[in-house]
Chain A
Amino acid sequence: MRLLKMVPENTNIHFLKWRLPFFALSGLLVIASWVMIAVNGLNLGVDFVGGQMIRVTFTHSAAAPVAALRGEVESLGYGDPIVQTFGAPNAVSIRMQLPPGAAHNPALATAMSKAIVAKISAAHSDARLDGIDLVSGKVSKELGESAAEALGFAAIAISIYIWYRFEWQFGAGALLSLVHDVSLTLGMFAVTQMEFDLNIVAAVLTIIGYSLNDTIVVYDRIRENLKKFRRMPMPELLDLSVNETLSRTVMTSAMMLITLLALLLLGPRVIFGFTAAITMGIFVGSYSSIYMAAPLLIWLKVTSKSFVPVEGKLDQQERLARERK
């Protein structure tokens, strides 16, 4: 049986020849993501801004009556709701700020959700209540802080680990490509205005873990080749390493994308945003291992010498003593 080859054997693509344009493109995309995050902002869910989220599915409708719902909830006088479809066209999340005084008297919040649910059930016979989330300002502040801490710690801890296992340039390169992957994923959320909740933080942490998967495989090969081919110029050596690991990179990314697409298209709609974030991250992560993580090593001046033990002072004295004899 002839086996399938996703990538032809013995590829010799000059990836690094295009490093400047691609690097510029990556830089632009990162900056564009930041601008989008600054201008559009992230559509933060109740997990991070506090408030109440009511999820409703309209079981007999093709699409949820978003505009009608907005009017119905507004008419109750609790303020303007944010009504958004949620995973499927006939499911919505309705987000409200907590009524004033709810921090001291939680019954006010309960009364609000009761009123909203009653109003919607009366107006739409096929409305099915799927859940109510109520997060006080105090809890949302804590959740936000712990999410930021987790992301920061993860990025730093992983960079330190890579620095320890490889060299500092590799740690810095991994950190930069990490920033690239996370920025682009967050940028996607700023552009699409998909809801950014706690699950998305978990997705971003996953991206941090898995986008490094690729980076590490490429770095591992670069290290091996640096020891093997002492005199090969850096760009060539990087090209060789990327090409040698190319079939693995493509294969693994394809496997991940197959499972993620299955999840995205057939899986639970509640985690659509979560799966979309990871899919984006895996995609961007594979690209950045080749075009960010590897070329950065040239600019950070990695050479074969980085992996040759440095002659210590004692060694030097011994060598000189031997030569004098």
Chain B
Amino acid sequence: MLDFPRWKQLWFWAIALVCCAAALPSIFSVADLQWPAVLPQPRVNLGLDLAGGSHLLLEANPDQVVSQRLEAMEESVRAKLSQANATVKVGDISNKDGSLSFMVDNPGEVDAARELILPLTSGAGLTGKRDWDIKVVDSTRLVLTPTKEGIDQAVTKAMDTATEVVRKRIDALGTREPTIIREGDDRIVVQVPGLKDPTALKNLLGQTAKLEFKLVDLSALPSDVAKGIRPPGDDLVPYAPGAHGAEAGFLAVKRLGGIKGDQLTDASQGYDQRNNSPIVSITFDSAGGAKFAKLTTENVGHPFAIILDGKVLSAPNINEPIMGGSAQISGGFTVDSANQLAIALRSGALPVDLKVIEERTVGPDLGADSIHKGVIAMIVGTLLVMVVIVLTYGRFGIYADLALMINVLMILGVMAIINTTLTLPGIAGFVLTIGAAVDANVLINERIREERKRGRRVFQAVEMGYKEASRAIFDANITNIIAALLMAKFGSGPVRGFAIVLIIGIGTSVFTAVFLTRMWVAGWLHRTRPADINI
């Protein structure tokens, strides 16, 4: 066990040096180090609890995706069946209990209707299943139900889009280095370092920014609307608070035939020339502009409602066709809210509403204070331990202390290389690892003492010390690894940071406290061949 061939020594030194060097950019600034630009510059990231900043956990409601899919499918089916060349006569389409259904007037045409609709569906995933299930019930009724695969696929797609939209919106706020990660099926984690007050961010992300233009149904009886009775073919949409006409409560708009505001190329905050109140100017892309021109041309003199996230902002009259592809939205904005809406519209609508279900904000002073005190505690603790170790084990203690210092650097280096985040509990993990790393050397040195007392010769005693202690060190470290792995799996942010430091620390401490010290001790024994050792 005390034989170390040259190649093995070189390997050990190389591993230790690379890991220690990787720690340097995290401790000193790169400029001070004169770090060559060609080399990578690994750095340990600071968690939000140390750097300060905001952490938001957003959750989407998958049911919303399902109902949107049903609505979209209803429109497609309607469009398909009302095409000029379609000969199949069907009854009204009902959208109830999570499926669409309609009667086919002539039972002989059921298959033809099915054939017409089938191209509207598509394959879902790799299972060969389709995203919609089309069934014939009572030989006259077609029922379309979204399959689980189809829903999953749609939710995944919606979440991908939502993540992208969230990223665009946060970028628009001009914050630095945000982290945006999908988590689980329906969640997004947003971390913005250095953000002191997340209110603006929350308002921005809380806004779905689904903009719609729908025609007002002038034939609806105001008395019915006031009572909340929905005229056939209409939707009752509540007014946004503060919007002109909000005292009426609801507005009846035609369910179909409106246009969506997702075909925009630009949106910006501006001022109304008449009364200087804040507005949002939008510019459609060419397809959206054409649709908007058509809608306004066909309905001159008719009011249309501008609806944002299911609330009426305003319902102006169309005085003349709007051909230029741009429009202005007013509706009781402040400069801030108009600005936020402009950002939200520019970045696109969220396919689903996102709700903040967890928020953690740490002030920058507290974080700085934590780092400062954590480093002091670590230095004091380490120095005290090192002094006691040298006093107790003499030369063997010096080896253990050297190993300890390399260990600290190696943990930092490995963390930098695999790009993990140092959190506040992570600092505690650091300090704890120092205590535990010493344990390996204590076990080994105590065993060497014992073997010497039993009268073994120096070489044999050292060899036995390492051999016999290794078993206990191994078993003890495995149990720690088990606990740390479970922590990393189940824990959230800071706790996971702690677990990662522990896992890395266990690995590096075995390397430094067992392998490196053994190499040094062996080298010393071979060089000087002492007859007795002071331990």
Cβ of A6: which chain B residues have Cβ within 8 Å of it? 392
Render B419-460 as a binary contact track against A, CB cut-off 8 A, 1 for contact: 000001101100110111011001100100110010000000
The smallest C-beta distance from B355 to any residue of chain A, in angstroms, reads 6
The answer to whether the Cβ of A305 comes within 8 Å of any Cβ in the partner chain is no
Query: Of the 9-residue stretches A70-78, A132-140, A292-300, which lies at the interface with chain B?
Result: A132-140
**How many residue pairs bridge A and B at CB < 8 Å?**
233
Cβ of A63: which chain B residues have Cβ within 8 Å of it? none
Would you list which residues of chain B between 461 and 507 have a CB under 8 Å from chain A? 468, 471-472, 475-476, 478-480, 482-484, 486-487, 489-492, 494-495, 498-499, 502
Q: Are A271 and B476 also in contact (CB < 8 A) when A213-B436, A256-B435 are?
A: no
Q: How far is the CA of A112 from the CA of B463 in the complex (A)?
A: 66
A258, B385: Cβ atoms under 8 Å? yes
Closest partner residue, chain B, to A262 (CB atom): B381
Q: Are A158 and B482 also in contact (CB < 8 A) when A248-B442, A271-B425 are?
A: yes
B206, A255: Cβ atoms under 8 Å? no
B482, A255: Cβ atoms under 8 Å? no
The answer to whether the Cβ of B418 comes within 8 Å of any Cβ in the partner chain is no
The answer to whether the Cβ of B534 comes within 8 Å of any Cβ in the partner chain is yes
The smallest C-beta distance from B54 to any residue of chain A, in angstroms, reads 9
Closest partner residue, chain A, to B382 (CB atom): A259
Render B349-360 as a binary contact track against A, CB cut-off 8 A, 1 for contact: 000000111111
A255, B495: Cβ atoms under 8 Å? no
The smallest C-beta distance from A287 to any residue of chain B, in angstroms, reads 17
Cβ of B483: which chain A residues have Cβ within 8 Å of it? 154, 158, 205-206, 208-209
A106, B355: Cβ atoms under 8 Å? yes
Cβ of B478: which chain A residues have Cβ within 8 Å of it? 161
B363, A131: Cβ atoms under 8 Å? yes
The answer to whether the Cβ of A29 comes within 8 Å of any Cβ in the partner chain is no
B432, A213: Cβ atoms under 8 Å? no
Q: How large is the interface on B (under 10, 10 to 19, 20 to 34, 35 or more residues)?
A: 35 or more
A201, B424: Cβ atoms under 8 Å? no
Cβ of B361: which chain A residues have Cβ within 8 Å of it? 131-133
Q: How far is the CA of A147 from the CA of B438 in the complex (A)?
A: 29
Cβ of B432: which chain A residues have Cβ within 8 Å of it? 206, 210, 256, 259-260, 278
B431, A270: Cβ atoms under 8 Å? no
Cβ of A244: which chain B residues have Cβ within 8 Å of it? 450
Cβ of A138: which chain B residues have Cβ within 8 Å of it? 59, 357
The smallest C-beta distance from B364 to any residue of chain A, in angstroms, reads 9
Q: How far is the CA of A161 from the CA of B479 in the complex (A)?
A: 8
Render B364-392 as a binary contact track against A, CB cut-off 8 A, 1 for contact: 01100111011011101110110011011
A130, B362: Cβ atoms under 8 Å? yes
A209, B199: Cβ atoms under 8 Å? no
Which DSSP category, helix, strand, loop or mixed, fits chain A's interface?
A: helix
Would you list which residues of chain A between 183 and 209 have a CB under 8 Å from chain B? 198-199, 201-202, 205-206, 208-209
| Other-chain contact of B487, A129, A134, A150, A213 (Cβ < 8 Å) | A150
Q: How large is the interface on A (under 10, 10 to 19, 20 to 34, 35 or more residues)?
A: 35 or more
Most chain B CB within 10 A, of A110, A199, A210, A258, is at A258
| Other-chain contact of B479, A10, A158, A251, A255 (Cβ < 8 Å) | A158
A154, B482: Cβ atoms under 8 Å? yes
Q: How far is the CA of A244 from the CA of B436 in the complex (A)?
A: 20
The answer to whether the Cβ of B73 comes within 8 Å of any Cβ in the partner chain is no
The answer to whether the Cβ of B535 comes within 8 Å of any Cβ in the partner chain is yes
B446, A209: Cβ atoms under 8 Å? no
| Other-chain contact of A268, B373, B393, B446 (Cβ < 8 Å) | B373
The answer to whether the Cβ of B343 comes within 8 Å of any Cβ in the partner chain is no
A4, B482: Cβ atoms under 8 Å? no
Q: Are A256 and B487 also in contact (CB < 8 A) when A3-B535, A143-B492, A209-B480 are?
A: no
The answer to whether the Cβ of A317 comes within 8 Å of any Cβ in the partner chain is no
B385, A259: Cβ atoms under 8 Å? yes
Cβ of A247: which chain B residues have Cβ within 8 Å of it? 446, 449
The smallest C-beta distance from A270 to any residue of chain B, in angstroms, reads 6
Closest partner residue, chain A, to B203 (CB atom): A107
Cβ of B391: which chain A residues have Cβ within 8 Å of it? 3-4
The smallest C-beta distance from A125 to any residue of chain B, in angstroms, reads 16
Cβ of A245: which chain B residues have Cβ within 8 Å of it? 446
Closest partner residue, chain A, to B427 (CB atom): A268
Q: How far is the CA of A175 from the CA of B357 in the complex (A)?
A: 37
- A131-B360, A136-B358 are known contacts; what are 20 more A-B pairs with Cβ within 8 Å? A1-B534, A3-B393, A9-B453, A55-B366, A107-B206, A133-B359, A149-B490, A150-B490, A157-B482, A158-B479, A162-B475, A198-B492, A198-B495, A201-B491, A202-B495, A205-B487, A256-B432, A263-B381, A263-B431, A265-B377
Please report B residues at the A interface, Cβ cutoff 8 Å. Answer: 49, 57, 59, 199, 202, 206, 355-363, 365-366, 369-371, 373-374, 376-378, 380-382, 384-385, 388-389, 391-394, 424-425, 427-428, 431-432, 434-436, 438-439, 442-443, 446, 449-450, 453, 468, 471-472, 475-476, 478-480, 482-484, 486-487, 489-492, 494-495, 498-499, 502, 534-535
Q: Which 8 A-B pairs have the closest CB atoms?
A: A262-B381, A209-B483, A267-B377, A150-B490, A268-B370, A259-B381, A256-B435, A209-B480
Please report A residues at the B interface, Cβ cutoff 8 Å. Answer: 1, 3-6, 9-10, 55, 57, 106-107, 110, 114, 128-136, 138-139, 143, 146-147, 149-150, 153-154, 157-158, 161-162, 165, 198-199, 201-202, 205-206, 208-210, 212-213, 216-217, 220-221, 224, 244-245, 247-248, 251-252, 254-256, 258-263, 265-271, 274-275, 278
What are 6 sample pairs from A and B whose C-beta atoms fall under 8 A apart?
A1-B394, A4-B391, A132-B361, A162-B475, A213-B439, A260-B435
